Amino acid sequence: MKISIRTKLFFSLTALVLFFVILSLTLTLLGLEKFYIWQKKNILVANSQAVDDLYQGIPEEISLELERIGNTLGAGIVILTKEGYIKYSSFGRIVNQKFLDRLPPPMHLPRSNNTPDHPRQGPGPFRLPEIPLALLKEKEIINPQTTLEMQQDRDLKIDFIVLEHQLKNNDILIIRQPLAPVSESATVTAQFVAFTGLLSLLGGSIWAFFFARKFTQPMLELNRLAQSMSQLDFSQKYTINRSDEIGELGRNINHLSDQLDTAISDLNLKNQQLLADVEKERQLDKMRKDFVSSVSHELKTPLALLLGYAEGLKENVAHDEASKNYYCSVIIDEAEKMDKLIKDLLNLSQIESGLYHLNRTDFNLSLLIDDILQKYQTVLQEKNITLEVTKEPDLLVNGDSLRIEQIILNLLNNAIDHTEFTGTIRIWVTPVAAQFRFFVYNSGKPIPEDSHEKIWTSFYKVDKARTREHGGYGLGLSIVRVLQELHGNSYGSSNMPDGVTFWFDLTKVENS
């Protein structure tokens, strides 16, 4: 089962808080009482030294200080002479017997086998017994003048800490403090630590939950961003504003995303360009193959005719002069067609190669149209074609006049070849923005919709059956296309209800 980093962090922090709570409770239970006793020993030693500094042999002179120390420590204080007689007791005379019975004989007092088992009764000071009612548990010698003893009262079953200090005048100071408050304080403290530990654990768990949530939020954001980048989606960005290492990582990932986006975009663009180049190369290869096939096909028929009629003349098939003249005319006609085809191919190849440069000048288009139409009057009359021309007398345009003439001739020849029905050709020129648009209309069959783009390619023929009849090779409109592209002007065709219209644009020259 997959465990999220947020869950792991939450349980880790909670376990850390629990560890410190248990550690604190354990140290309290094991060490608090010992530390408290160690501290009490130091306090008792310090107070005994303070009494020794103040004591001049007369307890009444420092009774207030002794009372203050006893009340502060909650301890009993006794001062004995070196013979063991009481000079001062904080418990009073009546209590002294019970108190003294529970003290072991001071180590600084002389021992005598004749010493009575109990202090002497009657007037005079009391003397300590040799057989105490207190059980010695532990003894520590601080220095030659000071000893500390841990005692347990045999009757009360209470532990005491007893300090015995030999004063400067050889009197003996005994401070006896019960340890019951120490154990009770340690127990209460342990309970309090346990209670506060539970509260700390609860609060720490809540803090760990929100901390883990806040701490892992940038990581989850970075993970989401990385997933988007793996799907090549670079629109997603790291938006959490931080100044630490995670914030720096987020900014670096944003930079990486931008760099990858740019690199992949460039790569896609280059791939598309490469695909376009490959497709273009494939189209060019196909065009070359089609071109070779078309040229071979177009040359095949006239060469066969030339070969056939030439062999006929050689073999004297034509016996009379009229037959010989017919054979010769066919050979000349086919040779002229081949000559025109080769010239058109050379012309088209020269223009498409990019080696040809236009000789652009300003000239009068109206005069050029009049000159062309005058040359075609005989052809139009022979074919019984009605010509209608609409134009302004002075149409100034800019371009290569020889190539513009070639465009008009190709469109006019195309119109003559395909004129049917009423036998009408109309020519008109219309201004369009900064250009003139030249129209050529011929009555006849419309061009199929899927052929409007194809007719501008080399050797394409809508009606292949009529090609030989009209002497066309499908190159005239191709030449129009390349010349217009070289001029940077538009061209096109459209079907009319009873015919077809071709048009091309020329750059207008504004009158100064």
pLDDT digits (tens, 9 = 90+) for 166-218: 988 889 999 988 876 666 776 777 788 788 878 888 888 888 788 777 777 77
Domain end marker among 166, 190, 221? 221
Q: Do residues 449 and 493 touch, judged by C-beta distance below 8 A?
A: no
Residue with tokens 């194809």: 454
Q: Give the span between the Cα atoms of 137 and 150, in whole angstroms.
A: 5
Top pLDDT among 121 and 315 is at 315
Q: Which of 19-23, 86-90, 229-233 has the lowest mean pLDDT?
A: 229-233
- Provide the domain count of the chain: 3
Q: Do residues 28 and 183 touch, judged by C-beta distance below 8 A?
A: no
Top pLDDT among 41 and 301 is at 41
Whole-Å CA distances, 198 to 10, 11, 12, 192, 201: 17, 16, 17, 10, 5
Q: Is 137 exposed, middle or buried (0-12, 13-18, 19+ CB in 10 A)?
A: exposed
Per-residue pLDDT for 21 more than 90? Answer: no
- Domain-located, residue 493: yes
Which residues does residue 491 pair with via DSSP β-bridges, in sequence order? 504
> What percent of the chain clears pLDDT 70, i.e. is strictly above it?
82
**Whole-prediction pTM:** 0.44
* Phi, psi values for residue 243, rounded to 5°: -110, 5
Q: Give the span between the Cα atoms of 154 and 218, in whole angstroms.
A: 69
385 and 501, same domain (yes or no)? yes
Q: Give the span between the Cα atoms of 338 and 347, in whole angstroms.
A: 14
Confidence band for 411, pLDDT divided at 50, 70 and 90: very high
CATH of the domain at 442: 3.30.565.10
140 and 214, same domain (yes or no)? no
Q: Give the span between the Cα atoms of 146 and 44, in whole angstroms.
A: 10
Top pLDDT among 323 and 340 is at 323
Q: What pLDDT was estimated at residue 125?
A: 47
Q: What pLDDT was estimated at residue 295?
A: 67
Q: What is the mean pLDDT of the chain?
A: 79
- Domain-located, residue 233: no
DSSP category for residue 359: -
Residue with tokens 């003290």: 103
Domain end marker among 202, 221, 240? 221
For the chain, first and last CA: distance in Å? 87
Q: What pLDDT was estimated at residue 291?
A: 66
- Domain-located, residue 492: yes
Q: Which of 41-45, 161-165, 302-306, 439-443 has the lowest mean pLDDT?
A: 302-306
20 and 156, same domain (yes or no)? no
* Phi, psi values for residue 264, rounded to 5°: -70, -35
Per-residue pLDDT for 445 more than 50? Answer: yes
- Domain-located, residue 136: yes
The angle subtended at Cα 175 by Cα 172 and Cα 181, nearest 5°, is 170
Q: If you average pLDDT over residues 246-253, what whole number do you get?
A: 78
Residue from 416, 349, 342, 415 nearest 379 by CA = 416
170 and 22, same domain (yes or no)? no
Specify the pairing of strand 424-432 against strand 386-390. Answer: parallel
Top pLDDT among 36 and 501 is at 501
Cβ of 511: how many Cβ atoms within 10 Å? 6
- Domain, as residue range, for 119: 72-178
103 and 47, same domain (yes or no)? no
CB neighbours of 221 closer than 8 A, spacing ≥ 6?
238, 239, 240, 250
491 and 421, same domain (yes or no)? yes
171 and 184, same domain (yes or no)? no
3 state SS of 378: helix
CB neighbours of 338 closer than 8 A, spacing ≥ 6?
299, 302, 303, 306
Q: What pLDDT was estimated at residue 365?
A: 94
- AA letter at 460: Y
133 and 216, same domain (yes or no)? no
Domain end marker among 178, 203, 229? 178
Computed on alpha carbons and rounded to an integer, the radius of gyration of the chain in Å comes to 63
Helix (H) or strand (E) holding 252: helix 245-314
* Phi, psi values for residue 162, rounded to 5°: -120, 125
212 and 172, same domain (yes or no)? no
Q: Which two tokens stand for residue 505?
A: 């644009």
- Domain-located, residue 66: no
Q: Do residues 257 and 234 touch, judged by C-beta distance below 8 A?
A: yes
363 and 502, same domain (yes or no)? yes
Q: What pLDDT was estimated at residue 462?
A: 66
Q: What pLDDT was estimated at residue 121?
A: 37
- Domain-located, residue 504: yes
Top pLDDT among 505 and 473 is at 505
Q: Which two tokens stand for residue 25?
A: 């409770």
Per-residue pLDDT for 96 more than 80? Answer: no
Q: Which of 45-59, 277-291, 461-475, 487-501 has the lowest mean pLDDT?
A: 461-475
Confidence band for 105, pLDDT divided at 50, 70 and 90: low
Q: How do residues 211-225 score in pLDDT, each as one tens digit?
A: 777 777 777 777 777
198 and 149, same domain (yes or no)? no
* Phi, psi values for residue 154, rounded to 5°: -70, -30
Q: What pLDDT was estimated at residue 313?
A: 80
Q: How do residues 295-332 score in pLDDT, each as one tens digit?
A: 676 677 678 878 887 888 877 777 788 888 888 888 88
> What percent of the chain clears pLDDT 90, i.e. is strictly above it?
17
Confidence band for 472, pLDDT divided at 50, 70 and 90: low
Residue with tokens 């520590």: 140
* Phi, psi values for residue 358, rounded to 5°: -70, 145
Q: What pLDDT was estimated at residue 74?
A: 82
Specify the pairing of strand 396-399 against strand 146-153. Answer: unpaired
174 and 185, same domain (yes or no)? no
* Phi, psi values for residue 153, rounded to 5°: -70, 125
Q: What pLDDT was estimated at residue 428?
A: 95
Q: Do residues 30 and 190 touch, judged by C-beta distance below 8 A?
A: no
- Domain-located, residue 428: yes
- Domain-located, residue 253: no
Confidence band for 512, pLDDT divided at 50, 70 and 90: very low
Q: What pLDDT was estimated at residue 117?
A: 42
Q: Do residues 477 and 488 touch, judged by C-beta distance below 8 A?
A: no
Top pLDDT among 502 and 13 is at 502
Q: Which of 114-128, 158-172, 399-413 has the lowest mean pLDDT?
A: 114-128
Q: If you average pLDDT over residues 52-76, what whole number do you get?
A: 87
Q: CA 178, 179, 180, 181 torsion: positive or negative?
A: positive
Confidence band for 495, pLDDT divided at 50, 70 and 90: very high
